[in-house]
Structure 1
Amino acid sequence: MTLAALQALIAAGESLTLELKKSTAEKDRACRSLCALANGQGGQVVFGVTPAGKVVGQKVTDRTLEELAQEFQGFEPPMSPHLQRIPVTVGDEAGLEVLLVQVERAAQVPVSFRGVPYERVLNTTRVMPRATYQRLLIESMHATNRWEMQAAESCGIDTLDSRELVVTIEEAIRRGRMEDPGTRDPMGLLRGLGLLVQGDQISRAAIALFCKDDHAIPEFPQFNLRVARFKGTTRDEFLDNRQYSGSAFALMRRAERFLIDWMPVAGKIVPGQMARIDTPALPVEAVREALANAFIHRDYASAAGSVSVALYDDRLEVISPGELHFGLTPEKLYLPHESKPWNPWIAKVFYRRGLIETWGRGTLKIAGLMQEAGLAAPALKVSDDVVTMTFDLPASLARSKKEGTSKQTPGKTLGKTLGKTPDMILRQLAEAPSTAIPELALQLGKSDSAIERAIRKLRAEGKLRRVGPAKGGHWEVVE
């Protein structure tokens, strides 16, 4: 680096990645800052520049460099900062030198100096809080010692829902995301998904994904979902409040069903059509992606807390226990970023099942879907060891709710208008004859039972018939 480049670097003053020291007499404090920089984004410490940014230089001898090298021995794990000598060629300081010491973010964090870890906050260095130290320590062991890859020692194959497992495999094959393993034996399928550990022991990831629905496992109280519809915009009064136990897939279906029952719906009349078109207040795909992310990224190591869905008059909150890791922030998640799922085994199975499309694009996809619907991207907030994604409901729907008008109708109220349901089913099955009843319910915003009643009526009237078996067959609309 030239002197001119150095002056450009220090022009903005000390920052999250830059510390200025007048001389190497402050080498102890400088090493604390180097430790903090290594625990953060990396950065530089410059000797021979005052905190105000004035280049004063200093005489650099072999003894100077030896003393710095001795100080660097205090880093644990060891690291070797890059040192550069920059001659001062102008002014009264000509003939002196500036020392620039640079470190990258350490490959293994947290780093400590003389047994104490430090962190950088804005332009200052401070002792790292214990909670931050523990988080970085957990992240450093993530690749080899995370929760999902431990054996579920108290659980046998009878703990799993084999049907859910088979559905996952068949869906992965259908989507071209997995080769047919040639077996439907549960242990063979788990082996194909990479969910067995230590030989043939069932992993915790397998239990989280496939344990039996609504079956509480004492060892894993975190396999839990809470859903609530609140009256108004606070948590003072419930309109509905439920809690479920089960696998991640089963709980996600429960959350979707709850939102079908309660999500506000905007209705409009299209010229030339007799039927009213009802549209959910929020894009269905965006909400589904948010729910999938909540189950994929939650901190399963904590027995406390649960994935939660809270619906208010003006907003929807999807809450996931845990925090953001690997330097990610809410702001960075809405920019292109590398995918670093906290539970990669669980994420991989969600991908194969077709519940997520590509890793590392969840928040970007949500933002894009909201933009297409003319809505703002949801807000992300991290606090109290939970990550909350908040979707604001369209202002017109929130206003109509407050004013008591009929512009929004809960999904479960729509489910009662069965006179329109048969026509919608016929249109849907004419386009996609293999659609299953749960999928129809989700697409049309109805309950499973409402769809089943309407199909029985259509079959009795001779307007619809089933071709082939219940599993593997299809529907045929009779003109």
Structure 2
Amino acid sequence: MDEVDTRDRTLLALTDMRDDGLILDRPSMTVSVAVYRSKPVVRIRVEASSTAPVRFDGIVWVRPGPTTRKANRDDERVLTERRRAADGPYDSRPAAGSGLRDLDLELFRSAYLPAAVGPEVLEENGRPVEQQLASLRLATPDGTATAMGLIVAGYDPTAFLPGAYVQFVRYQGSDLDAPIADEQELRHNVMAVADRLETVLRGHLHTRIVEAGGFREEQRPDYPLEALRELCMNAIMHRNYETSYAPVRVAWFDDRIEVTNPGGPYGQVRSDNFERVNDYRNPSLAAAMKSLGYVNRFGRGIGRVRAALARNGNPPAGYLIDDSSWSVTLRSAQ
């Protein structure tokens, strides 16, 4: 075995590899001198990264089996999801700087708690509110509100989650240059947003008279409210609250409605299987919204939208999905 240079200058040069900007995020690394088979060696210990994927000179490398290769998009997504799994879902993490003062405790007691645990359990439950909030993941045991707590029962979720609101715009035309007839930002918790959004949507719906057979006529809206509600609430449930400050957007044109949310396919969902496969970026929020009756958690939302559009005489919905967003377009019934 050749003699290894173990001088301080060499150790410093090896340590500088961590800080030369080629490895991102910078690794936790120690360089020291050790003895192997009675010979001095340089020992480099690199801790496993908690912020995978790690890039070297802008490239992620993976080692499946005995080979090493550049990571493809699916490889990077798996690495990212493993990191998030270690941290736990974002919706159950504490929101730094928040507290129980930021939660509407009366709304929690009167509306969410009975829906989440049932009246029978509630009647027997004598625990203090702090424990009830923690057990339902709306807050941590030390009294910090979680992201889910702010979304479900916060006074103003956007104080800590800047993108946690719905933007509604009604255009008088068919493109973004058309005059705006109505514009609203719904910066409330999900229960208040649901109530307000239903009022806004109903206010812009128009009905038409159609023949129902047997000399009967009936009124039908240009869009089925059931489909609009399903798409909007699912957008709130599935959106990316962690790394995007964009809102859920509802753009209503003369000939269509576009519902867009920040957050592309998650987990096992892909752009080619989303109609039959479901997964949950925000599992605690999904459970909460199901308890409140706003969504169905068993992957039937797209089917319900399809059925509602067909019954009302609307064309099928169009979907535009990429890595960072999800957009659904509804066309007016003819």
Same fold (TM over 0.5): yes
Following superposition of structure 1 onto structure 2, how do residues 258-297 of structure 1 map, counting pairs within 5 Å?
258-268=200-210, 277-297=218-238
**Gaps in structure 2 of 5+ consecutive residues:** 1-47, 64-68
Q: Cα–Cα, structure 1 residues 287 and 194, in superposed 2: closer, same or farther, change >3 Å?
A: same
Using the TM superposition, give the Cα deviation of residue 268 of structure 1 relative to its aligned residue in structure 2, in angstroms. 4.7
- Match for residue 155 of structure 1 among 91, 98, 104: 98
Alpha-carbon distance in 2 for matches of 1:164, 1:330: 37
Q: Cα–Cα, structure 1 residues 197 and 375, in superposed 2: closer, same or farther, change >3 Å?
A: same
Larger radius of gyration: 1
Residues 117 and 133 in structure 1, CA contact (< 8 A), matched pair in contact too: no
Q: What TM-score, normalized to structure 2?
A: 0.70
Alpha-carbon distance in 2 for matches of 1:150, 1:325: 18
Q: Cα–Cα, structure 1 residues 132 and 235, in superposed 2: closer, same or farther, change >3 Å?
A: farther
Alpha-carbon distance in 2 for matches of 1:320, 1:170: 29
Residues 224 and 245 in structure 1, CA contact (< 8 A), matched pair in contact too: yes
Using the TM superposition, give the Cα deviation of residue 273 of structure 1 relative to its aligned residue in structure 2, in angstroms. 11
Alpha-carbon distance in 2 for matches of 1:379, 1:127: 34
Q: 1:321 — aligned with what?
A: 262
- Describe the SS at the equivalent of 2:159: coil
Alpha-carbon distance in 1 for matches of 2:135, 2:214: 53
Residues 222 and 302 in structure 1, CA contact (< 8 A), matched pair in contact too: no
- Describe the SS at the equivalent of 1:251: helix
| Alpha-carbon displacement from aligned partner over 1:171-203 (angstroms, at most 9, x marks no partner) | 3456x8x84263595424323423333554321
Q: 2:148 — aligned with what?
A: 205
- Match for residue 348 of structure 1 among 264, 283, 287: 287
Using the TM superposition, give the Cα deviation of residue 220 of structure 1 relative to its aligned residue in structure 2, in angstroms. 2.2
Q: Cα–Cα, structure 1 residues 112 and 156, in superposed 2: closer, same or farther, change >3 Å?
A: closer
**Is 1:167 aligned to residue 76 of structure 2?**
no
**Is 1:141 aligned to residue 80 of structure 2?**
no
Residues 151 and 198 in structure 1, CA contact (< 8 A), matched pair in contact too: no
Residues 309 and 318 in structure 1, CA contact (< 8 A), matched pair in contact too: yes
Q: 1:332 — aligned with what?
A: 273
AA partner of residue 245 (structure 1): R
- Describe the SS at the equivalent of 1:223: coil
**Is 1:391 aligned to residue 330 of structure 2?**
yes
Alpha-carbon distance in 1 for matches of 2:83, 2:288: 22
Following superposition of structure 1 onto structure 2, how do residues 5-404 of structure 1 map, counting pairs within 5 Å?
116-117=60-61, 127-128=70-71, 135-145=77-87, 146-165=89-108, 166-172=110-116, 179-180=121-122, 182-183=125-126, 186-197=129-140, 200-212=143-155, 215=156, 217-237=158-178, 238-268=180-210, 277-335=218-276, 337=277, 339-383=278-322, 385-394=324-333, 396=334
Residues 309 and 316 in structure 1, CA contact (< 8 A), matched pair in contact too: yes
Residues 310 and 316 in structure 1, CA contact (< 8 A), matched pair in contact too: yes
Q: Cα–Cα, structure 1 residues 370 and 269, in superposed 2: closer, same or farther, change >3 Å?
A: closer
- Describe the SS at the equivalent of 1:279: strand
| Alpha-carbon displacement from aligned partner over 1:367-387 (angstroms, at most 9, x marks no partner) | 233233343331221247221
- Describe the SS at the equivalent of 2:261: strand
Residues 112 and 118 in structure 1, CA contact (< 8 A), matched pair in contact too: no
Q: Cα–Cα, structure 1 residues 280 and 162, in superposed 2: closer, same or farther, change >3 Å?
A: farther
Residues 258 and 327 in structure 2, CA contact (< 8 A), matched pair in contact too: yes
Work out which structure has the larger RCO, using CA pairs closer than 8 Å and 6 or more positions apart in sequence. Answer: 2
Alpha-carbon distance in 1 for matches of 2:125, 2:167: 38
| Alpha-carbon displacement from aligned partner over 1:91-139 (angstroms, at most 9, x marks no partner) | xxxxxxxxxxxxxxxxxx96999x84379xxxxxx9447x877644331
Alpha-carbon distance in 1 for matches of 2:141, 2:126: 22
Q: Cα–Cα, structure 1 residues 143 and 149, in superposed 2: closer, same or farther, change >3 Å?
A: same
Using the TM superposition, give the Cα deviation of residue 170 of structure 1 relative to its aligned residue in structure 2, in angstroms. 2.4
Q: Cα–Cα, structure 1 residues 308 and 268, in superposed 2: closer, same or farther, change >3 Å?
A: same
Using the TM superposition, give the Cα deviation of residue 281 of structure 1 relative to its aligned residue in structure 2, in angstroms. 2.1
Residues 164 and 245 in structure 2, CA contact (< 8 A), matched pair in contact too: no
Residues 161 and 245 in structure 2, CA contact (< 8 A), matched pair in contact too: no
Alpha-carbon distance in 2 for matches of 1:263, 1:361: 25
Residues 267 and 281 in structure 2, CA contact (< 8 A), matched pair in contact too: no
Residues 367 and 376 in structure 1, CA contact (< 8 A), matched pair in contact too: no
**Gaps in structure 1 of 5+ consecutive residues:** 1-76, 78-108, 120-125, 397-479
Q: What TM-score, normalized to structure 1?
A: 0.50
Using the TM superposition, give the Cα deviation of residue 344 of structure 1 relative to its aligned residue in structure 2, in angstroms. 0.1
Q: 2:37 — aligned with what?
A: none
| Alpha-carbon displacement from aligned partner over 1:400-449 (angstroms, at most 9, x marks no partner) | xxxxxxxxxxxxxxxxxxxxxxxxxxxxxxxxxxxxxxxxxxxxxxxxxx
- Describe the SS at the equivalent of 2:272: helix
Q: Cα–Cα, structure 1 residues 183 and 308, in superposed 2: closer, same or farther, change >3 Å?
A: farther
Q: Cα–Cα, structure 1 residues 127 and 232, in superposed 2: closer, same or farther, change >3 Å?
A: farther
Using the TM superposition, give the Cα deviation of residue 246 of structure 1 relative to its aligned residue in structure 2, in angstroms. 1.9
- Describe the SS at the equivalent of 1:243: strand
Q: Cα–Cα, structure 1 residues 188 and 285, in superposed 2: closer, same or farther, change >3 Å?
A: farther
Q: Cα–Cα, structure 1 residues 362 and 216, in superposed 2: closer, same or farther, change >3 Å?
A: closer
How well do the aligned residues superpose, as a CA RMSD in angstroms?
3.5
